Structures are given as C-alpha cells and as structure tokens.
Chain A
C-alpha cells in the first residue's frame, strides 16, 4: 500500500505554474519592467534590481558594490538623507537592500496605494545620489563593523573566504561580497560615485513589482517615474576574466583556538543556469538534491545514519549566477573522526552515485521536492519577486523560470550520473576547519 501511494503521489505532481499572470515590458529608456499580480492582500513588493554585484567591483576596490548599496540610503538633492526612509516608515512600509555576487537590489513593501510614491523616490535615487565625506566616513565604519561581525569574529567564515579565494584563480567570485578589509578601508566618496555613474542606469535596471496591482497601472506609473530618466547610451557590460581549468586539488586549512566543532567542505566550479547547456544546470540541481537533501539525501544516509562518522552532511549550489559558479558539499564529523577519513567517505558517496546512478524512487522524490518549491513560492509575493528578479538579473529569461518545473521533471537518471561525475575530488578545493590545539 505504501509503495503504490508513494509512486502515485510522486507522479501525479503536475508541474507548478508560478507567476501565470506575469507580464513584462521594456520602457523607452531600456529599463525592464516585470509585474507579478497577487491580489490576495492589498500590498505590493516594489524592487529595483541592478545587473551588477560584487563581481563587478574594479580591481583593488573590492566591496564597492556593497558599500554603495549602504550609501544609497544617504539621500539625493531632492530628498535629503533620511527622507526616503522616513517616508517608508511613515507609510508603514518595510525596506531594505542587498548585494550579491551578480546583482544589487533595493526593495520596499507597502500598501498598494503607496506604490507610486515608492517609484518616485526610487527613480530619483537612480541618478540623484548626493554624497559628502561627512556621511561616507561613518558609513565606511559601519561596513567595517559589519565585516568584523560576519567574518573577523568567526573562523568558519574566514575559512569560507579562503576556500573561495582558492577556488577562483582569476574570476572575482573568489572575492568576498563585502570586500577585503584593507580595500574597504581605502574606499572613498569618489570610488562610490564612479561606480554609481557606471552602473545605476535605466538600461542596467529591472523593476519588479509583485502584489495587488495590474500591469497597466504599473507601466503607467513606471513611465511617469523611471521612464523620465534618460538612457545612458548603452548598458554596461560585465567583463570578467574567465577561469582557467585547474587540474590540481587544493587543501585550505584554518586552525583556530576558537574552533570547538571541526568541519569539512569540498568545492567545485560548475555551470550556472546562465552558462549551462540546456538541461545541464537542472541535472546538477537534481543530483545535488539526491546527494544532500537534509534527512533523505545520500550523504546523510551514508555518513550520518549508516557509517555514523558525521553528525550532519549536505550541500549547496549557487545555481543562479552569470558565470560558472560554486557547488559545495560539507560534512561535520562525529567526535574523534578525522577530516581525511570523512572526506574519503564523502568522495565514495559521490563516486557511487556517478557509477551506479539513482533509483527511480530517489529521482522522483528529488523532483517532487524541488518542483514543490515553485508551488510554495506562490504563497509569498516577495519570494516570487526575488525568484524572477534574481533570474533576470543573471541573464535567465521569464520563460526559463516558468519552464523550470518542466525542465526539472525532464532530468533523466543518466544525466544525474553525469552531473555527479563532475564532482571529481582530484579537481576539488577542500576546506578543513580545525581547532588549533597548540595555541594558548
């Protein structure tokens, strides 16, 4: 009985269609507009995405994308420092911004009647930023404190930075989004403004509005606000160095007296949705799900349940990226288990998948779980807005996102084997986090 219901449950899961009513237009100045109607609640999520992130930081200026994101809250000629945030607060809205490897985004969530106001402020901020040394200096201190908080007090985060730096020999994905401490310290007003003028243009921006709105009203408002910004002439291109294919494995070790729980990670560079051949990234996604699902994945089964050498194991894949990106597997050892032995067991688990493939049940389960995420995303307008915004900002299309469930369903057992074969330990970068027993 269990068997029959399992199969039925898995196969009857029709692909979820997210954003069925979604529409898109491009304004005369080149700015793309995406509208995702969601009429369940009278609020809107208003986001502007810029197609630039930390990977577009000029050499020697690491952290400038992120620093500028902070400085974007410092006011314009028309709306001095604090005016935008005060308005959002007064309207009972929420706001924030984030910087990633490939994009920077700003958002507000407000009652639907305030959408136009948000668009006026955000459009003004695209070209009207005013910076003085008096506001830049303390904000740089804020970023330095942010770096101290996230990285410099956390050996695990320090290892993560070193592993990324080892994984990427040439490409800026190897540089931390927040930047290196010594380079942040030297960032100034002129650096921020130069970067701002280069990237904050209508051609480089994507407006995503999700919520209780119609496409017509969003386009009308967008033309009256963002549409008035003259085009800069051409969209900035992203020219980043390509990675050489390194044949060597690399081991990066961080030993610190503060480490009480060691851990292991192995990383590879793999295609992203933007660089992959059709179906390839989806295969990697399904393969990773089969390996790393939290309680049902192969790594959990082999290392945690059967061999009892790990307390946890899993993985992560930065699939939404402009350039080939990172896939990471990790394991946390049981007390007394060495990281070398743990790594060997991890490799065996991956090799077994590459050699013997998957069962039909495992494949169906992985697909069901992944496809359901698209269905669950429909319950959250901000999730939908982020899903489409990040895809578009990294070079995917709306059709790609819409067809994603179908593409996941189409992944074959053979493709999963091929994807697993990519994870060759002889080409991996491995990170060991260890307690420094000698210190103190």
Chain B
C-alpha cells in the first residue's frame, strides 16, 4: 500500500490515514488504496478471555469460533458456502484482553462481504448444531494439546504465575470447563462484551470514505452502545525464584520462563523493547540465540518477548533442550538475565538493536491486513494517529542509561519463574 512509505520518501503515515466518523457515530481509521483490488478490515473490542465467567474459561474463545457458524437467514453450512461463493475471508479470535474480527474481500464483493460481517457481528444464531460441533472441535484440540510439551509448559506457567486471576485460567478453556458452557453463557458474554464503546476499526484498501461510513453504520450500528466489563485486578506473576517440574516421558525438556514486565503506557516501554531485543527478541542476534544456540548447540529455538497484557505485563521466554543438557540451557538463560539486570546491554548492543528496530518497522506493515491490524493496535493503545511517524524517533532516543534502568526494572534481582516439562537431568 502506498501508505507504507518510510520517512525517507517524505510521506507520513499520518497523511495517509484518515479518521472517519460515520453518521451513526462509529469511528474508524481508513487507508484508501486502489493498487490491489481488495479490502481488509480489522476490528477489536476489549474483553477477551479475561471476561470469561470464572468457572467457565474458554467462553470467549468458543464464541469467537461460533460467530461465523450461522447468522441471520443462513445456517452454518449456508453461511460458509456464501463466504466461499464470494471468496470472502472472515474469522474471529479471542486473546486474553480482546475479541477481534478479520475480514478480507475482493473489492468487487465488498457489499456481500460487509453484509456477512454484519450478520456475524449482530445476528450470529448460536444454533445448537454448531455449538455442539465447535465444542467437540475445541475439546479435540485441548486433548491434543494436553500432551504437547510446549503447551503444557506454557499453561503451567500462567496457571501458577496467576493463581485465582483471569490470566491464570486457560484462555481456550479446559476439558472440564468447555462441556459446562451453555448457549446462554455465550449469548450473555456477547451481550456484555461486543459493544460499540470499546470498538476499534481499521480498514485498508479499495474503498472510499463515504461507502465505508455507510457500510460501518450498517455493520456495527445495531450493537449495544456500552460494554459491561467486569474489572480485572492488576496482578504480578507469582512464584518468582522458583521452578516447577512436570514429569513427562520425552527426550527433550520444554522450558518456559518469565517474570514481571512494564505496561505499554510506561515511558520506558520502548527501552524495554530494545532490552528484550538484546536479550531474546532478535532472531539471529540476541544473547540467547548466540549463547544457547550458536555457541553451544543447546536448542533450535530460544526466544523471549514482552507480553503486555492490560492488567499484568510480563516477559516470557522459552526453549527446548535435550534432557541431558536442559540444566545447562537454563543456567545460561539465568546468567544472561542476571547480567542484563546488573549491567544492562552494552553500547554496541544498544546501537545494533535500535538500528534493527528502526529499520525493520516498515516491514511489519507490508500487506493490507497487517497494516489494518497495526492501526487497530495503535487505536487500542491510544498512541495517536501520528504514532507510526513518531515511533522510530522514540526508539532512536533510547539512551544507554534508559536501557540499563529498564533492564533493571525488567529483570530486577535476576530471579524468574520457570516451568519445565520433560525429564531434565540435574534440575
């Protein structure tokens, strides 16, 4: 899209993005572009699995799977056939804090596509047949994941880091909870969460402002005005300084580790991104890659990321090493955390990380769908329409002092909470 032009070319993102307000009072960000005859729409509302009923984790995830399983005049089969007849791509998803929708259509089928989106958003039927079918699919997925080492380690990490908190519950639900979810639960969740008050929309592609405004009013106009969200308490991960071993008969130990991080609204957020890049974020350049993989051949994959959940920001990482050397991998990871906490990154690491983060920013938005997704994020985080133009300067401005201070904030005294699935020797 011509919107994705870096500063060098002199065109600002902010000049290409328009914020439109429909007659019905719905706001959306639009990048109008006719290079490719398609339209991509992304939207999200706040909520996600954190709003699941306490005894019924998996409700949001199940609902997301059901919104396109029959709506308005069409049963599930007719609905999917109609999507395929017009090559419309439509699906929904739930993460911990939000419920999202993803639409992609050829421009010539724009009217049909928005009509299908409207039906899914406002008139999903939640018929018994698709509920039972989707429930069975989710259960099959959960059974499969119940012995997948990475999933086991990840679930255990969140369950024990956030006991009694929504983030500690499995976002896809469990073999115990999924059978309990009723149609009423799904409908009640939808009525509380799917509302205009937290709705953020971005559209990229071959559509003009007037047409889009009319489509958005038709699509989202019938939603309730205000979401009824339960407060989610602020939380910090528990168990820091401990390890939890889960015995499992496999040749390789799957390791998850992490600790508290900082909020996305924190002034040090971009410094934290830089520090994480140095630690385990950079694919071929991070300390974890060099020390664990390249120098010692301990693992194929070793990584870390900042997971900025709304109410409990964390950093989490993982790797998989054969049982005999798992202790060695974990010792190296812990040593790097301790070293970063104490000394921060070096000047050279800082420079390289900043160059990468600045230079690669445009690569993140090279398709219409990816750009629309980013524009939704910017809205959710209330970063402002000029954020994408300001962001690289903010990264450039991170000093060594900032990075050292932030590394200390992230890694503190170097202690982490770790879960290990497998039969590691010496742990």
Interface size band for B: 35 or more
User: Which of B104, B284, B321 meets A95, CB within 8 Å?
Assistant: B284
CA of A308 to CA of B81, assembled, Å:
19
Interface 9-mer from B41-49, B94-102, B225-233, B293-301: B293-301
Q: Is A375 an interface residue (CB 8 A)?
A: yes
- Asked if A375 and B137 sit within 8 Å, CB to CB, the answer is no
Q: Closest B-chain residue to A135, C-beta based?
A: B294
A92 vs B296: C-alpha distance when bound (angstroms): 26
Give the chain A neighbours of B363 by CB distance below 8 A.
Answer: 43, 92-94, 109
The A-contacting residues of B in range 236-286, CB under 8 angstroms, are 248-252, 254, 282-285
User: B320 and A148: CB pair below 8 A?
Assistant: yes
CB distance from A342 to the nearest CB of B (A): 13
How close is A167's CB to chain B, nearest CB, in angstroms?
23
Chain A's closest residue to B11 (CB) is: A42
Pick the contact of A311 from B81, B136, B321, B367 — CB < 8 Å? Answer: B136
**Tally of A interface residues using CB under 8 Å:** 72
Give chain A residues whose Cβ lies under 8 Å from the Cβ of B356.
89-90, 92
Shortest distance in angstroms between B326's beta carbon and chain A's nearest beta carbon? 11
Q: Is the CB of B149 within 8 A of A86?
A: no
* Least CB separation from B371: chain A residue: A41
Give Cα distance in the complex from A368 to B85, angstroms. 7
B194 CB to nearest chain A CB (Å): 22
| Chain B positions within 8 Å of A175 at CB level | none
Q: Say yes or no: A365 contacts B85, CB within 8 Å.
A: yes
Indicate whether B359 reaches chain A with its CB closer than 8 angstroms. Answer: yes
A132 within 8 A of B: no
CA distance A258 to B148 in the complex (A): 9
In the assembled complex, how far is the CB of residue B349 from the closest CB belonging to chain A, in whole angstroms?
11
**How long is the Cα–Cα vector from A309 to B91 in the complex, in angstroms?**
25
Closest to B356 in A: A89
Smallest CB gap from A12: residue in B: B108
Q: Mask for A370-393, Cβ within 8 A of B = 1, else 0? A: 011001101111100000000000
A334 lies within 8 A of chain B by Cβ:
yes
CB-CB < 8 A to B295: which residues of A? 138
**Chain A positions within 8 Å of B85 at CB level:** 6, 9-10, 361, 364-365, 368
Instruction: Assess whether A149 is in contact with B84, with CB atoms less than 8 Å apart.
Output: no
Known: A10-B85, A73-B284. A42 touches B5 (CB 8 A): yes
A residues in contact with B294, CB < 8 Å: 138, 142
Q: Report the bound CA distance from A324 to B357 in whole Å.
A: 44
Residue B369 CB within 8 A of the other chain: yes
Which 4 pairs, one residue from A and one from B, show the smallest C-beta to C-beta distance?
A: A92-B359, A141-B297, A372-B87, A138-B297
Chain A stretch 263-303: residues in CB contact (< 8 A) with chain B: 293, 295-296, 301
Check B352 for interface membership: any CB of A closer than 8 A.
yes
Which listed residue, B87, B297, B359, B369, touches A137 by the CB 8 Å rule? B297
Q: Which of B108, B352, B360 is within 8 Å of A94, CB to CB? A: B360
Per-residue CB contact flags for chain A residues 89-106 toward chain B (1 = under 8 Å, else 0) read: 111111110000000000
**Cα distance, A90 to B348, chains bound together (Å):** 11
Q: Are B84 and A365 in contact (CB under 8 A)?
A: yes
- Asked if A140 is an interface residue, CB under 8 A from chain B, the answer is yes
Docked complex Cα distance between A182 and B241 (Å):
39
Pick from A92, A301, A376: contact of B104, CB below 8 A: A376
Q: A140: nearest residue on chain B (CB-CB)? A: B297
Question: Contact between B252 and A145 (Cβ–Cβ < 8 Å)?
Answer: yes
* Given A41-B4, A92-B361, A301-B77, residue A142 in contact with residue B140 (CB < 8 A): no
